[in-house]
Structure 1
Amino acid sequence: DTYGKAFLQIMNLWRVDQDTKKYVFAKRFAKIAADLLGVDNVRLYHDQALYKEPGGGPTPWHQDQYYWPIDTHDTITMWMPLVDIDVEMGMLTFASKSFDKGAVFNNEISDESETAFDDYVKEQGFEITRAETMKAGDATFHRGFTIHKAPGNNSNTMREVMTVIYIADGAKITPPINKYQADDHRKWLDEKPVGGLVDSELNPKLL
């Protein structure tokens, strides 16, 4: 299980820590997300701390939105290292413009998704891009259907990253099509009715 060895993760820290809440609710981050999506306002889907330990394994190719039971492609994730990082520490790597194709496979993050997406990325000829270095506080933004991965952490330093997932205001909840979407519906959408707006207290407007 490659993904199980990839990193330590915890979600929705904003609900238990006021400093994290200020960070997650920061309007300057939300404004960048809204501008990149071309929408007037965004809501929070959830935050996620991703700590890749020294020797931590790779994160296979995947699409985040496989996990999300929502009806819009207007979704975006901010990925921000909390320490200076370089390619040896597990730099996020993208198949550029791959989000245009929408959902490609019905695969969770796994060795199988790595193989399937690797073949697909090569067949489609997507440009593979990543930063060589990032300072603490730098950030990347990627769409929910962007195919991406990260290598293992080959350094002696913990790769500390905080992410925030933004979705366009007005998004609606769709019927879950896999067990992961059913779990997300329960945990991050407060089990609001299918077909209803994403507007629970867990998904506040950020602008």
Structure 2
Amino acid sequence: MTVTHHDLKSRYDLDAAAVRYFDDNGFVKLPGVLDAGTIAAYEPEITSKVVELNTQHLPLAERDTYGKAFLQVTNLWRHSDLVREFVFSPRLARIAAELLGVAGVRLYHDQALYKESGGGITPWHADQYYWPLATDRTVTVWVPLQETPAEMGPLAFAAGSHRFEYGRDLPISDESERELQQGLAEQNFPPVETPYRLGEVSYHLGWTFHHAAPNRSGVPRRVMTVIYMDADITVSQPMNDNQRHDLRSWMSGAEVGAVPETPLNPVLYRARGGAQTG
């Protein structure tokens, strides 16, 4: 089944102001990247795969802070041709490359993050703590699959915190929430927490600190993410157990010092030669 919508393939006009904002703040929110029809076409399949592949079955009250934050399902593209169309979107990948200032990007992995009704906070953290990669040219697109008002727990960012090195050794946890909430406030990195309109997405760097409030609404907050890395990035020596796990799981077969040219990490966009989808 193929229903690839035009706005997954066509170019998004990214203006210079948005790129400057991203460079200065480590994130940017972009309006109108996807239309309502595109989201309606892909959301049911993404949600179906989250339900099918989810392995978290404990009641919310019995989970730790991480488990209460969201249901997390990765590499959905490997389980559905329809989800693959979404994840491999040349439009989304090109925006990532243009924001990073690189010629192309390859896939690290996708990740559905569904915050259940009553789900707790997503503690302050930086994603790149988990990634054994040699540079900071990494970015995540965060795509809400519905309108996301404040009571749903939209993603919030500490503006400019991609240059803040304190806390980069902290996994997502109660400790990261406590230490980073204090550290970011002391260094005057203002939190930016605003609702997402339908079709609005955000991009944030791997070292940008971010968190999310609880979902106080009566419905799940459904979000699909794709993590991109510079197409020419190399693998670094893992610095912690989480990075060793990621190397095995998301870049299987890649060697330290080499570009991760594996079946799991196809190039999704390159400026010369156009989009490539493996």
**Aligned-partner residue type, residue 115 of structure 2:** K
Q: Report whether the alignment pairs 1:90 with 2:189.
A: no
Q: Could you say which residue in structure 1 is the equivalent of 2:74?
A: 11
Give the counterpart letter for 2:177 in structure 1: E
Residue equivalent to 1:117: 180
Quote the residue 1:50 is aligned against: 113
Whether the 8 Å CA contact 2:167–2:179 is kept in 1: the answer is no
Given that 2:74 and 2:111 are in contact with CA atoms closer than 8 Å, whether structure 1 keeps it comes out as yes
Aligned residue in 2 for 1:199: 261
Rg comparison, structure with higher value? 2
Alpha-carbon offset, residue 148 of structure 1 = 0.3
Amino acid at match of 1:148: H
What do the CA deviations read for 1:99-124 (whole angstroms, capped 9, x no partner)? Answer: 12356331110000011111110111
Cα distance in structure 1, aligned partners of 2:118 and 2:85: 32
- Indicate yes or no: 2:222 matched with 1:160: yes
Q: Percent identity among equivalent residues? A: 48
The Cα shift of 1:193 comes to: 1.2
**CA deviation after TM superposition for structure 1 residue 179, in Å:** 0.8
Q: Is the 8 A contact 1:63 1:103 kept in 2?
A: no
Gaps (5+ residues) in structure 2?
Answer: 1-63, 270-278
- Once residues 44 and 156 of structure 1 are traced to their aligned partners in structure 2, the CA distance between those partners, rounded to angstroms, is 33
Which structure has more RCO (C-alpha within 8 Å, separation ≥ 6)? 1
Counting only pairs closer than 5 Å after superposition, residues 39-188 of structure 1 correspond to structure 2 as 39-102=102-165, 104-131=167-194, 133-188=195-250
The alignment's TM-score, normalised by the length of structure 1, stands at 0.96
**Per-residue deviation, residues 73-98 of structure 1 (Å, max 9, x unmatched):** 01100001001110100110100111
Which amino acid letter does the alignment assign opposite residue 233 of structure 2? A
* Residue from 86, 89, 92 that aligns with 1:26: 89
State the alpha-carbon separation in 2 of the partners of residues 13 and 102 from structure 1. Answer: 32
Q: Which amino acid aligns with 1:37?
A: L
Q: What SS does the aligned partner of 2:182 have?
A: helix
Q: Aligned with 2:267: secondary structure?
A: coil
CA-atom RMSD in angstroms: 1.1
Query: CA contact under 8 A between 1:3 and 1:110: conserved in structure 2?
Result: yes
Q: d(CA) in 1 for partners of 2:188 and 2:67? A: 29
Aligned residues: 206
Residues 109 and 227 in structure 2, CA contact (< 8 A), matched pair in contact too: yes
The aligned amino acid for 2:261 is: D
Task: Name the TM-score, length of structure 2 as normaliser.
Answer: 0.72
| Cα displacement (A) at 1:135 | 2.7
